[in-house]
């Protein structure tokens, strides 16, 4: 296979971009619209329109299309004003990049093999809406093999839709790992998971999920369990103040088995943490969290069954500090939970 290495600035009209079916390596590249005067100066000798109207794409309709036989590595690269920044049908590595002011999606991931998507030290911002659930990162998984989506020090901010949108279909396996990420100020859910009978293992650590119009992390209720989610060391703050009541939460996690440890969950427009229809609910873990001034309950669990609920602080949450369904009934105060004895506080 032929490898191409580039160090360029390039501008496109409505037609341009890259269709990659081999091995493509980009380093220190700037790709933008012909109308863009902010990155590389004035090329078309016309005043820059506000907003820029020309969104460039290759034949497939995407800015950079890594096709089903392709291998793509991008470093120190900036992509502006594309119609979909990157469309990946196979594994990609993206490091130290900016994807900004694109239409539809910043990065669209839809592979059909045991692929790995690694994105690090990258900022995705101001992605404009072209349809339902368009947003920063779209990860679709509908093949019966395990895939990995690994996000490390990634910022997704100020999109017209969800920051990260994850539709999955029946019996598919995926690991999704976020570490030191910022999912902030998106006009939708921060992270929107679409449920099915899939085998999802998701980990979110040391990240900030804040100021999103709807929930910080949202998994709609269905009738079947959907996997596991681990949240540790995060700030889940100020989400859900723009949405309808049913979509307001810091963390809305039905169908997922939660482990929630050492998080600050505060100032959200509805419930701080909500979970229900949880398979093996007794294996859930909620410890060492701060639930502060959420507009509704700090924590709401509607399944019967008790689990590790220890060393949490509840302070000035709205309706009640919590709504915890235990074997003895529904409890609404920390004192009632403590009275259960054992590892409850």
**What's the pLDDT at 319?**
84
What is the full per-residue pLDDT of the chain (345 aa) written as tens digits?
344 444 444 445 455 678 888 999 999 999 887 676 676 655 555 665 566 766 777 666 678 988 888 899 999 999 998 889 999 989 999 999 999 999 989 999 987 787 899 999 999 999 997 677 788 999 987 776 788 999 999 999 999 999 999 887 655 678 899 999 999 999 999 999 886 656 788 999 999 999 999 999 998 876 666 688 999 999 999 999 986 666 689 999 988 889 999 999 999 999 999 998 877 888 899 999 999 999 999 999 988 888 888 899 999 999 899 998 888 888 888 888 888 765 555
**What's the pLDDT at 78?**
95
Angle at 63 between CA 58 and CA 66, to 5 degrees: 90
- Cα–Cα distance, 265 to 271 (Å, whole number): 10
Q: How many CB atoms lie within 10 A of CB 249?
A: 31
């Amino acid at each position: 296979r032929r490898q191409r290495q580039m160090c360029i600035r390039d501008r496109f009209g409505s037609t341009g971009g890259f269709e990659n079916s081999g091995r493509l390596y980009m380093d220190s590249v700037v790709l933008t619209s012909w109308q863009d005067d902010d990155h590389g100066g004035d090329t078309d000798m016309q005043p820059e329109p506000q907003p820029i109207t020309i969104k460039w794409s290759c034949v497939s309709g995407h800015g950079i299309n890594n096709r089903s036989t392709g291998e793509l590595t991008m470093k120190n690269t900036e992509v502006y004003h594309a119609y979909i920044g990157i469309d990946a049908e196979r594994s990609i590595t993206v490091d130290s990049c900016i994807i900004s002011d694109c239409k539809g999606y910043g990065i669209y991931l839809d592979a059909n093999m045991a692929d790995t998507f690694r994105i690090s030290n990258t900022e995705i911002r101001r992605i404009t809406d072209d349809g339902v659930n368009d947003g920063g990162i779209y990860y679709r998984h509908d093949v019966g093999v395990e895939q990995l989506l690994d996000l490390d020090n990634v910022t997704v901010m100020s999109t017209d839709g969800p920051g990260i949108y994850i539709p999955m279909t029946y019996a598919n396996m995926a690991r999704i790992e976020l570490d030191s990420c910022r999912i902030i100020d998106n006009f939708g859910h921060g992270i929107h998971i679409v449920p099915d009978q899939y085998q999802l293992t998701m980990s979110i650590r040391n990240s900030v999920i804040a100021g999103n119009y709807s929930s910080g992390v949202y998994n709609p209720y269905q009738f079947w369990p959907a996997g596991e989610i681990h949240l540790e060391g995060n700030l889940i703050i100020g989400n859900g103040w723009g949405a309808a009541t049913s979509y307001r939460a810091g963390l809305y996690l039905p169908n997922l088995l939660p482990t929630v440890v050492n998080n600050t969950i505060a100032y959200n427009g509805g419930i701080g943490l909500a979970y229900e229809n949880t398979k093996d609910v007794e294996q859930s873990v909620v410890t060492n969290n701060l639930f502060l001034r959420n507009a509704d309950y700090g924590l709401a669990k509607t399944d019967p069954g008790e689990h590790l609920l220890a060393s949490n602080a509840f302070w000035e949450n709205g309706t009640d500090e919590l709504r915890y369904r235990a074997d003895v009934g529904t409890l609404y105060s920390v004192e009632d939970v403590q009275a259960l004895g054992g590892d409850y506080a």
